[in-house]
Amino acid sequence: MNRIKTKLSVMNFLEFAIWGSYLTCMANYLGPHGLGEKIPLFYAVQGIVSIFMPAIIGVIADKYIQPQRLLGLCHALAAIFMGCAWWYGSTHPALEFAPFFTLYTMSVAFFMPTIALANTTAFSILKRSGLDTIKDFPPIRVLGTVGFIAAMWFVNSFYITDGTFGFSLSNPLGEGSSYDPRFQYTVNQLLVCAILGLSLAIYCLTLPECPLTGNVAGNKNQKKTLAQMLGFDALRLFKTRKMAIFFIFSMFLGVSLQITNGYATPFITSYLPEFPDSFAAQNATLLTSLSQISEAFCILLIPFCLRRFGIKNVMLMAMGAWVLRFGLFSIGGPEFPGVLSLILSMIVYGVAFDFFNVSGALFVERETGPEIQASAQGLFMLMTNGIGATAGMIAAGAVVNHFCHYEGNFMVGDWSSTWLIFSAYAAVILVLFAICFKYKHQPQK
């Protein structure tokens, strides 16, 4: 691997390690500190800021600040706000929602656009270095998933207590302790996020320069409306029945995206009082990382499945995988055979997430012209990770709060009914999509 690809691999590793340090375990910190009923808002706000922040930052990267520099600036600001959230949590054992949520929201508002900015930076540097983006980018991007997993393993197992930094796969204070100092349960997961963010902000200073695409030859005098710059011109795709149905169902399926990020670890951890010796219950974040490992492998299946089965069947596979994802959680438990259901749920997540997100993006690329392709991809992300994930997390929070509640450090209640409701929802979407989406696939030999 040459020097350029190595530098971009490190960038992607850190980019997703930042996210992985808190995304799947933050609920385990919020619940015991009095914000259990507010968990949906902490995950929904990521979708809310994704509706407008990436477009705004994208315009700045096109015309005013080179992408690699803007990437570093956004990470620096996100890290500063997350560091402030860590400090507030460290000095306020009983969290107040408004100040803590404000600091957290400001952090994710600057972080979420960096996912697209990191791709823009990587594509620009690869092209300027004479490398093939289609061939060379996927291995670089896989390092992002590896970074996400590595961060999850780190916060799952490391702790600081009485000035001692250590590693443990169980509560280092012993079974009888009601407090577990490992980062997956404490505000220190936000400290890890802030340190990684500042590290990437500094690292971005070492990346090669990327030209401003809005100022290159041929683009300098090209006038764009505000709607075009923000990607709203892609809304005309709704005039085509096939694309309208695709985008609408993308929104409905996007409802499922953040549910297990927010509630998988509180669900698995809730078994600790009854099964204090369970490895699964003690290491919910580590167990959940199997989902990301599956995701990395399932990416490799997408080209074959799209050629063989077509976009409709691949999307149906994704929807069926979401039915299984939630359904297996409903019968899962910390001991055998229940833990086998949890592991299987983690494995099918790769199909549920990748077959939907990656295949959907490829379908949009194939069905739209070059003059609107970027806007169409933005619309796809808006419908799924923006509107869909936001509405889904708020609705899921209402369901979870109806069936479950916090008792001390653990969210207890009728988890089985909760997961079955989510599974039934995914099944309804699967049936409706199979009926409504008309798409004839011509298999490639």
d(CA 394, CA 328): 22
The pLDDT assigned to 221 comes to: 46
| Main-chain phi, psi angles of 109, to 5 degrees | -65, -35
pLDDT at 103 over 50: yes
Residues in CB range of 49: below 8 A, 6 or more apart: 105, 108, 109, 112
In the chain, what are the domain boundaries? 1-222, 223-445
**In CATH terms, are 1-222 and 223-445 the same topology?**
yes
With 0.85 as the threshold, say if the pTM is over it.
yes
- What whole-number distance in Å separates Cα of residue 432 and Cα of residue 415? 26
Distance from C-alpha of 39 to C-alpha of 393, rounded to nearest angstrom: 9
- Residues sharing a CB contact under 8 Å with residue 407, sequence separation 6 or more, in sequence order: none
Predicted pLDDT of residue 96? 92
CATH number of 1-222: 1.20.1250.20
Identify which of 411, 357, 362 has the alpha carbon closest to the alpha carbon of residue 383: 357
- Rounded to 5 degrees, φ, ψ at 400 are -65, -45
Strand partners, 154: none
pLDDT, one tens digit per residue, over 109-128 is: 999 989 888 888 888 888 88
More confident residue, 50 or 44: 44
Output the six-digit token pair for 51. Answer: 């509706």
pLDDT at residue 94 in the model: 83
Sequence-distant (6+) residues with CB within 8 A of 224 are: none
**How many Cβ atoms are within 10 Å of 93's Cβ, its own excluded?**
9
**299, 354 contact by CB (below 8 A):** yes
Assign domain 223-445 to its CATH architecture: Up-down Bundle (1.20)
| pLDDT, tens digit (0-9, with 9 covering 90-100), for 24-49 | 999 999 999 989 999 999 999 988 98
Band (233; pLDDT cuts 50, 70, 90):
low
